């Protein structure tokens, strides 16, 4: 009985420790929004500090900072850049959340992404100018080719077609046995 009570209290304490160690993203977002509204000059510091402390709440932190500060297009790009520098593994998530809150900042957010991760795809400049991307594009294989075999060939050897001539039926007499000659 004493062991059961000991294990029950131990599991209850561990449950409280894990629950208190878990960060509530909604509460964090509310505090970031209030701090961004109160001190708009320190929004970038707040964003980088909170995203570094809780990278799994980076989307909520970025959204709250943009909404709380009433950020314009340039400020949205700066917020995205500071959040990405604090948590580079969440780069795509941070940019998508910023665009969801401020869709008019799409071009600026894409330029931040192109600056911080230049090898990730098409940049904003090449999309605007219509220029072809630099470098050569590898030739695409024919989807009908077998892997490593080249073009598909027939499974049987090719030979010239066999032409069968029909029998000459113009000289056939049905009464004589079919060969047309009179051998009687």
| CA quadruple 8, 9, 11, 12: dihedral sign | positive
pLDDT digits 0-9 by tens, 128-154: 454 555 555 556 666 665 565 555 566
Q: Comparing 165 with 160, which gets the higher pLDDT?
A: 165
Do 102 and 70 form a contact (C-beta atoms < 8 A)?
A: no
pLDDT digits 0-9 by tens, 175-184: 765 555 555 4
- Distances, alpha carbon 131 to alpha carbons 109, 118, 122, 125, in Å: 21, 17, 11, 9
- Residue 21 binned pLDDT confidence (cut-offs 50, 70, 90): very low
pLDDT digits 0-9 by tens, 80-122: 999 999 988 988 999 999 999 989 989 998 888 888 876 665 5
Lowest mean pLDDT among 26-35, 48-57, 105-114, 149-158: 149-158
- Distances, alpha carbon 140 to alpha carbons 50, 65, 121, in Å: 45, 45, 18
CA atoms lying within 13 Å on the CB side of residue 174: 0
Q: Which tokens is 57 given? A: 């709440």
The pTM is what?
0.54
Do 79 and 48 form a contact (C-beta atoms < 8 A)?
A: no
* CB neighbour list of residue 166: distance below 8 Å, 6 or more residues apart: none
- Percent of the chain residues topping a pLDDT of 70: 59
Asked whether the predicted pLDDT for residue 164 surpasses 70, the reply is yes
Do 35 and 69 form a contact (C-beta atoms < 8 A)?
A: no
Average pLDDT over residues 77-81: 91
Q: Which tokens is 58 given? A: 């980076």
């Amino acid at each position: 009985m004493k062991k059961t009570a000991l294990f029950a209290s131990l599991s209850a304490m561990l449950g409280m420790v894990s629950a208190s160690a878990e960060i509530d993203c909604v509460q964090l977002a509310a505090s970031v929004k209030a701090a961004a509204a109160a001190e708009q000059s320190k929004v970038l510091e707040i964003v980088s500090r909170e995203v570094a402390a809780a990278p799994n709440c980076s989307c909520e932190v970025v959204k709250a900072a943009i909404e709380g500060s009433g950020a314009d297009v340039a400020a949205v790009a700066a917020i995205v850049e500071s959040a990405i520098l604090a948590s580079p593994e969440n780069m795509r998530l941070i940019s998508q959340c910023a665009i969801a809150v401020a869709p008019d900042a799409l071009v600026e957010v894409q330029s931040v992404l192109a600056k911080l991760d230049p090898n990730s795809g098409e940049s904003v400049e090449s999309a605007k100018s219509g220029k072809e991307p630099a470098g050569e594009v590898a030739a695409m294989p024919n989807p009908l080719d077998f892997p490593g075999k080249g073009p598909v060939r027939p499974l049987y050897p090719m030979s010239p077609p066999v032409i069968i001539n029909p029998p000459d039926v113009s000289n056939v007499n049905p009464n004589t046995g079919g060969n047309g000659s009179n051998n009687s």
